[in-house]
Amino acid sequence: MIKSHSWYNGQIKPSEDITISPNDLGLLRGYGLFDYFRTYNGKPFQWDWYWQRFKGSADLLNIPFDMKQEEVSEILAELYKLSSAEEVAYRFLLTGGDAPDSSTMTKPNFLIRSEKLSEMPSESFEKGISIISHEYSRDMPTLKSTDYKRVMSLQPAIKAAGAVDVLYHTGGLLSEMSRSNIFLVKDNQIKTPATGVLRGITRRTVMELAKSDFEVSETDLFLKDIFEADEVFTTSTNKKVLPVTKIDNVSIGNGAAGAASKEMLARFDEFIVNW
Amino acid sequence: MIKSHSWYNGQIKPSEDITISPNDLGLLRGYGLFDYFRTYNGKPFQWDWYWQRFKGSADLLNIPFDMKQEEVSEILAELYKLSSAEEVAYRFLLTGGDAPDSSTMTKPNFLIRSEKLSEMPSESFEKGISIISHEYSRDMPTLKSTDYKRVMSLQPAIKAAGAVDVLYHTGGLLSEMSRSNIFLVKDNQIKTPATGVLRGITRRTVMELAKSDFEVSETDLFLKDIFEADEVFTTSTNKKVLPVTKIDNVSIGNGAAGAASKEMLARFDEFIVNW
């Protein structure tokens, strides 16, 4: 059992002892960023990439954030030690801080928390998952803001469709799933949407790992392309490379996890063993 | 000095004693609604209208909310009594509740807080305010979600322009200001955008109060219409009827608070005296 701890504005405590003010602008005004990553072999996976993206997102959202990477690295190591776990997930949460007047930014609040890993059932990797499509694009999609109200409000629709997640598009132009990136495989090509997406770190890792044997591209992709694809898979920290076998109740390819998806999952699993 | 109190999930405490879990889905996932209204003569202004809108918003966002209006009316009265103030503002905050797994909704969290009134300086009503335009539309604009990250991130741009707020449009089609509705006056007509807006309670009140002597309509309005308008004003709980005299550094009409705006403010002020 992981002993989850949190660093909050300079202090480390057991996570259950952390409380937030109701004046936090992340809560009152949705003015917040987060990130989520994990260790492999006790080391934060792709930490440099996560750090760069997070700093850039804070800049784009105009939340002042002046911590140094080395300082945060030390906090990650300390939280890992306190966790007594082999592997942990980390969550960053940066908000506009407490605003007694409910709207004026003062000093940001920053939380770093170690968490129990959330892993997909192995069956999902073997059989693939079923998703639905929905017309929507996240506001400021290149940043990992805390704005997930759309997918939260779609939970009953997702459940009713017997699906587990949602794929967003704008007039048919694909962008991303609610918390992961999407890839299509056709012949020996692996393609993923170029715009309107979070530049996922697992996405980037998978593209690197694929390019020795596949033609990899970031390009415009449409809903209709899905139904002509051989395979579809999605990537994220906890989904790694996860086959998507059904969209809007229509089977993709032959309806089973495809060879390229399995190959990329194998490469990813090999890569993390040696991380 | 108002003694602010909060009702939170069934208990009333001084507001400074309320704490929120870092697992609140309003914070982690932007899955939250709020509302903000005030008393006149100690009575919640247009309480029935606020209540109906709030219940409807919870339904649209799929947050289960089963409190009865009478029950909440009693809480409002109790918070008012405890405030020792002549008039108070109230804030509702309803979120998807605490999610130890960071994503699954459990039981909603509901906060009702009495607050010190936030009032505009009287100079603003006399001289009008300056705003900038910005291309953006709120996700699910008919509901008062907590999603204000866009205007929060625009604060430096608003300040740099010497403005105080922002007017949203989509390809020139006007919707609303960041926290208030917009009206244009041309000849004896008062017009306000029909779609993509929060159905403001002050907006609705002002439309009712105007129709005896003005031609009032909800319709499509464009940025160019602003620069041909005689007057522009904005409405909200704390702005009441507030003239907007400059947009993107261009003066509207003759650059001063207009006659229709003043007339509507006077009608509103008379209406609240007798509330």
Condensed to tens digits (0 to 9), the pLDDT of residues A169-210 reads 999 999 999 999 999 999 999 999 999 999 999 999 999 999
Angle among Cα A213, A201, A37 to the nearest 5 degrees reads 135
Question: Residue B65's closest CA among B104, B109, B118, B102?
Answer: B109
The DSSP element (H or E) to which A71 belongs, if any, is helix A69-83
**What length is written for chain B?**
275
pLDDT of the residue at A97: 98
With residue A29 as reference, give the H or E element that holds it.
none
Nearest CB partner across the interface for A147, out of B96, B149, B156: B149
Q: What pLDDT shows up at residue A235? A: 98
Is the pLDDT at A106 greater than 90, yes or no?
no
Scan for tokens 């966790």, then name that residue. Answer: A83
Chain A residues with beta carbon closer than 8 angstroms to that of B145: 30, 149
- Report whether A252 contacts A232 (CB < 8 A): yes
What SS3 state is found at A197?
Answer: coil
Q: Fill in the DSSP letter of residue A103.
A: S
Assign 3-class secondary structure to chain B: CCCCEEEECCEEEEHHHCCECCCEHHHHCCCEEEEEEEEECCEECCHHHHHHHHHHHHHHCCCCCCCCHHHHHHHHHHHHHHHCCCCCEEEEEEECCECCCCCCCCCCEEEEEEECCCCCCHHHHHHCEEEEEEECCCCCCCCCECCCHHHHHCHHHHHHCCCCEEEEEECCEEEEECCCEEEEEECCEEEEECCCCCCCHHHHHHHHHHCCCCEEEEECCEHHHHHHCCEEEEEECCCEEEEEEEECCEECCCCCCCHHHHHHHHHHHHHHHCC
Residue of A nearest to B111 (CA): A22
Q: Is B95's Cβ below 8 Å from some Cβ in A?
A: yes
Count of CB pairs separated by less than 8 Å, A with B: 140
For the domain spanning A5-115, the CATH number is: 3.30.470.10
Q: What is the CATH number assigned to the segment(s) B122-273?
A: 3.20.10.10
Domain with CATH 3.20.10.10 in chain A: 122-273
* pLDDT the model gives residue B106: 85
Residue A12 banded pLDDT, cuts 50, 70, 90: very high
pLDDT at A116: 96
Residues A216 and A207 sit within 8 Å (Cβ to Cβ): yes
Residue A217 CA, distance from chain mean position: 20
Q: Within 10 A of B74 (CB to CB), how many other CB atoms are there?
A: 12
Minimum Cα–Cα distance from A155: chain B residue: B62
Nearest to B157 by CA among B248, B238, B246: B248
DSSP symbol at A84: T
Q: pLDDT per residue over A16-44, tens digit each?
A: 999 999 999 999 999 999 999 999 999 99
Coil, helix or strand at residue A168: strand
Question: Residue A1 — pLDDT band, cuts 50, 70, 90?
Answer: confident
For residue B152, give the nearest of A18, A29, A91 by CB distance: A29
Measured distance CA(B203)–CA(B187) in Å, rounded: 20
Distances from the Cα of B46 to the Cαs of A207, B37, B43, B58, in angstroms? 56, 8, 9, 19
Residue identified by tokens 């926290």 is B179
Q: What is the tens place of the pLDDT at every residue in B66-75?
A: 999 999 999 9
Q: Which residue of A has its CA nearest to B93?
A: A28
What is the full DSSP assignment across A140-158? STTS-BS--HHHHHTHHHH
Average pLDDT, chain B: 97
Interface test with A, best of B4, B38, B152, B159 (most A CBs within 10 A): B152
Kindly report, as residue ranges, where domains of CATH 3.30.470.10 are found in chain B: 5-115
Alpha carbon A168 to its chain's center: 15
Cα A117 from chain centre: 13
For residue B111, list chain A residues with Cβ-Cβ distance below 8 A.
22
Extended beta strands in chain A, E state: 5-8, 11-14, 32-40, 43-44, 89-95, 109-115, 129-135, 165-170, 173-177, 181-186, 189-193, 215-219, 231-236, 240-247, 250-251
Determine the pLDDT at residue B1.
85
Look at residue A213 in the predicted model and tell me its pLDDT: 96
Give pLDDT tens digits for A235-261: 999 999 999 999 999 999 999 999 999
Residue of chain B minimizing CA distance to A92: B28
Measured CA to CA in angstroms, residue B256 lies from B120, B227, B231, B245, B248 at distances of 17, 14, 9, 6, 16
Distance CA A274, CA B138 (A): 44
Spell out the per-residue pLDDT of chain B, length 275, in tens.
899 999 999 999 999 999 999 999 999 999 999 999 999 999 999 999 999 999 999 999 999 999 999 999 999 999 999 999 999 999 999 999 999 999 999 899 999 999 999 989 999 999 999 999 999 999 999 999 999 999 999 999 999 999 999 999 999 999 999 999 999 999 999 999 999 999 999 999 999 999 999 999 999 999 999 999 999 999 999 999 999 999 999 999 999 999 999 999 999 999 999 99
Mean pLDDT, all residues of chain A: 97
